[in-house]
């Protein structure tokens, strides 16, 4: 079991090192929406926003599940404005944006 965990971790970190920010996993639209609407808070951690790529900060948020996270973006959460300030974003965009926030590195 421990061995499997180690292998999974090693795989994961090599993936992160290999692909970094420009990973083809994220569509140009996702990256653009992020830069336009979310980066100003989530790249710098403004008002306690969980920072992009910071595993620890996202761990407890991910436990809520994607549907709840998407709902919270839509309604706004504490210092985050409704829809994270992105009026044109759909739920599918938010889904992709959460993946980007959690899995990409600044």
Binding-site ranges for ligand HEC (CB under 6 A) = 37-38, 40-42, 46-50, 61, 64, 69, 72-73, 77-81, 84-86, 89, 94, 97-98
Q: Which of residues 26 and 37 has its CB atom nearest to ligand HEC in the complex? A: 37
Identity of the residue, 18 or 78, whose beta carbon is nearer to ligand HEC in the bound complex? 78
**CA–centroid distance for 27 within its chain:** 13
Chain mean position to CA 20: 13
Residue 25 vs 40, nearer CB to ligand HEC:
40
Instruction: Report the residue number, 19 or 61, with the smaller CB distance to ligand HEC.
Output: 61
Task: Give long-range contacts, CB 8 A cutoff, 24+ apart: 66-75.
Answer: 66/95, 66/98, 69/94, 69/98, 70/94, 70/95, 70/98, 73/97
CB of 61 to ligand HEC, least distance (A): 4
Report the nearest approach of ligand HEC to the CB of residue 23 (Å): 17
CB of 56 to ligand HEC, least distance (A): 13
Terminal Cα-to-Cα distance of the chain (whole angstroms): 32
The least CB distance from residue 36 to ligand HEC, in Å, is 8
CA distances from 36 to 4, 6, 64, 81 (A): 39, 37, 26, 14
């Amino acid at each position: 079991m421990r061995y499997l965990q180690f292998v999974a971790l090693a795989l994961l970190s090599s993936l992160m090192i290999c692909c970094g920010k420009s990973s083809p996993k994220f569509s140009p639209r996702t990256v653009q929406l992020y830069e336009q609407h979310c980066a100003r808070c989530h790249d710098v951690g403004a008002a306690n926003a969980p920072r992009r790529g910071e595993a620890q900060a996202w761990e407890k948020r991910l436990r809520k599940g994607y549907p709840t996270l998407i709902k919270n973006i839509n309604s706004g959460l504490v210092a985050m404005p409704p829809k994270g300030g992105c009026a044109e974003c759909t739920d599918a965009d938010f889904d992709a944006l959460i993946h980007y926030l959690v899995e990409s590195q600044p």
